[in-house]
Structure 1
Amino acid sequence: MGSALEEIKEKLVGTWKVDRGENVEDFFRELGLNFITRKLAARGKPVSTISIEGDEITLAIQTPFWTMKDTFKLDEEFEKVTEGVKLKAVATYKDGKLIIKQTPIEEGSSVKPQEVHRERVGEELLQTMYIGDVVCKRYCVRVQE
């Protein structure tokens, strides 16, 4: 586990801002956001901060409309809330990618299972998000602190 955390520190830790994206609005449509929220979210440039303390990873995402913060350990299930729906999530690190898989806890939820991969591609952080048959990519640039 230590080497995975060291690699995450080296490659992903820091503050990142979305620069551009592909298929973002379709992702938010599949997520179930209404038209206005979807348009605003697709145009947004969220700032993500990834940090590590001990064996815990913290992922904080901030937009003008909301802030989300999750703290978790690799390969251990944790709970999070998205759009008011409780999800169980697991983070893994494989082939240079921090992967978070999340599924609704309640049966019959309108929220679909999702998967987000974060990896370095050159100087950028690439977030590839999967929901249903939709794949969305967001390219992030490092924010100098």
Structure 2
Amino acid sequence: MVEQFCGTWTLTASENFDDYMKAIGVNFATRQLGNAIKPDLVISVDEAGVVTVKSVSTFKSTEIRFRLNEEFSEVTADGRSTKTVVSLENGKLVQKQTWDGKQTTLEREIRGGLLTAKCIMGDVFAVRTYKPA
């Protein structure tokens, strides 16, 4: 089921991302960069079931590798050190990051040929939309 997410995706729209970054504690300068960057998302899975998600931009690129439902340590693009678990729930790739007693969730799903990523922190959420590259 992860295979439907595999490929290269280009960011085309970002709604409420600045408020989401504020909610998770990202400083002003980093938020300015985060709002200006239009990263590509590259998702793949190998024969052993290890999923790789790369966020690639001219400013900064990040990569996480994981198996579904197994906790791993992640250092986010904004520098947070999190304990992260990614699962497949109702056709969505759900990533839960926990740090300093806080938790945020990223729900990725494919709709109408587009990948949407809903970023949720408490009652604040952002939606980022990607098209196939």
TM-score normalised to the size of structure 1?
0.84
Q: 2:52 aligns with which of 55, 58, 61?
A: 58
Q: CA deviation at 1:21?
A: 1.4
- Which is higher, the Rg of structure 1 or of structure 2? 1
How big is the shift at 1:114?
A: 1.1
Q: Which residue pairs with 2:95 in the alignment?
A: 100
2:42 is the alignment partner of 1:49: yes
Paired position in structure 2 for 1:132 = 122
* CA distance, structure 2, for counterparts of residue 58 and residue 85 of structure 1: 19
SS in 2 for 1:36: helix
Structure 1 gaps, min length 5: 1-6
- Percentage of identical aligned residues: 33
* Alignment correspondent of 2:85: 90
Instruction: Give the match for residue 72 of structure 2.
Output: 78
Query: How big is the shift at 1:31?
Result: 2.3
Q: Distance in 2 between matches of 1:86 and 1:34?
A: 15
Are the counterparts in 1 of residues 94 and 108 from structure 2 also a CA contact under 8 Å? yes
Distance 2:120 2:112 in 1: 22
1:34-75: CA deviation from partner (whole Å, max 9, x where unpaired): 223212211321111000002110001112221110110011
Counterpart check, 1:120 vs 2:110: yes
* Pair 25,85 (structure 1): closer, same or farther in 2 beyond 3 Å: closer
Letter of the aligned partner of 1:129 in structure 2? Answer: C
Partner of 1:4: none
The alignment covers a number of residue pairs equal to 131
**Separation (CA, whole Å) in 2 of partners of 1:88 and 1:15:** 25
Corresponding residue SS for 1:141: strand
**Matched-pair contact (CA < 8 Å) for 1:116–1:130:** yes
RMSD: 1.5
Q: Indicate if the aligned counterparts of 2:119 and 2:126 stay in contact, CA closer than 8 A.
A: yes
Contact 1:77 1:88 in 2 (8 A): yes
CA deviation digits over 1:71-104, x for unaligned, max 9?
1001111111123332111110011100010101
